[in-house]
Amino acid sequence: MPPGRPSRETVYRRFAAAIAELQRFGGLPRPAEAAAIWDDIWHLEAHNSTAIEGNTLVLREVAVLLDQGRAVGAKDLRDYLEVLGYGEAARWVYGQAVEPGDWCGDGFLTVTEVRYVHQLAMSKVWEVAPHPDAGPDEGPGAFRRHDIQPFAGGMTPPAWTDVAAQIHEWTAVTDRFGHDVRSRKIIAEDIPVELARLHCDFERIHPFLDGNGRAGRLVLNLVLVRLGYPPAIVFKRDRSGYLAALDRADNGDPGALAELIARSVIDNLHRFVVPNIAGPARLVPLRSLANQEVSYDALRQAARRGRLDAELSSDGTWRSSQHAVRAYLQNRHRREKKS
């Protein structure tokens, strides 16, 4: 473990603390209640999850495409359609997760939902770039009818004849997991490891002929938001680490993947959610108070020097408030004028 990097167990404890804090603030806001929060997450997720698969659109192009329906830049049509499809699927995921539709019933997750997520994500791009080996019954939302060779890291998908049974079993396991979390049979610190196992198992099954990575990350986020947690975003820059973590999870060690998921949920909570739902006097993690005017590193340094009213919690997280940051910035501006 690199010097100064918190242990994996510390990350899991911070995950649990972040979720508890979110619940104290009243939980995850619905998309209709806080469109700005969800739009920022939407842009980042659609950009990074498709970029991991080779999409060339930059974040600004993704935002314009999703918000305005305009294709800026001079990219392949396929790239635009991939992002549009992913964006549509992510929007559906966010809405259904917080306000489940009729497909879910009293359950936590259904096979129908898994297939529909894939259908939304892949239908647009499939019209111009279908998988070259796809048969008439292997389009978006349909399980594959081809066997897939083992991947470079050793992950071996099952024969296509076993896919339906295995994805039904995977969904049943996920459904039990969701109910166990809601009934608190699983403690919060253990949730990231269970999420990592579920995500790895889905990717190992590889239920569709194409688009399994995108569908798997969307379904992971459906699980997360249905639990009341922010979505996880795997950034393009972390692609190699993410794939290596999947391979390690496939070989029985889900720790690296669990840590990646936990860190992403914590970061998204602190970056997007907490600053928008916490009152100005509430103590929140210092990272969530950083903005264009002052960086997290500057705030942390000010807290250490006693120039910012802040507290260091037992897990090593600095906490302060919007009021305290405003007071610190006002004092800093006065010092700069005097000098």
Among the listed residues 326, 262, 259, 271, the one whose alpha carbon sits nearest the alpha carbon of residue 296:
271
Give residues with Cβ within 8 angstroms of 212, minimum separation 6. Answer: 202, 203, 206
* Residue 268 annotated as binding site: no
Separation between Cα atoms, residue 320 and residue 325, nearest integer Å = 7
* Residue 251 annotated as binding site: no
What angle (nearest 5°) sits at the alpha carbon of residue 96, between those of residues 22 and 77? 110
CB atoms within 10 A of CB 156: 11
Instruction: Find the helix or strand (DSSP H, E) in which 312 lies.
Output: strand 311-312
**Residue 259 half-sphere exposure, CB side, CA atoms within 13 Å?**
17
Instruction: Find the helix or strand (DSSP H, E) in which 120 lies.
Output: helix 111-126
Q: Is 206 a known active-site residue?
A: yes
* Residue 214 annotated as binding site: yes
* Residue 278 annotated as binding site: no
* Residue 216 annotated as binding site: yes
* Residue 215 annotated as binding site: yes
C-alpha 256 chain-centroid distance: 15
Which alpha helices (DSSP H) does 1-110 contain, by range? 8-24, 35-51, 59-68, 77-98
**Which residues pair with residue 311 across a beta bridge?**
319
Whether residue 157 contacts residue 205, with contact meaning beta carbons closer than 8 Å, is answered with yes
* Residue 305 annotated as binding site: no
Q: Which of 118, 199, 206, 270 is catalytic?
A: 206
* Residue 300 annotated as binding site: no
Annotated binding site for ATP: 210-217
Annotated binding site: 210-217
| Active site (catalytic) residues | 206
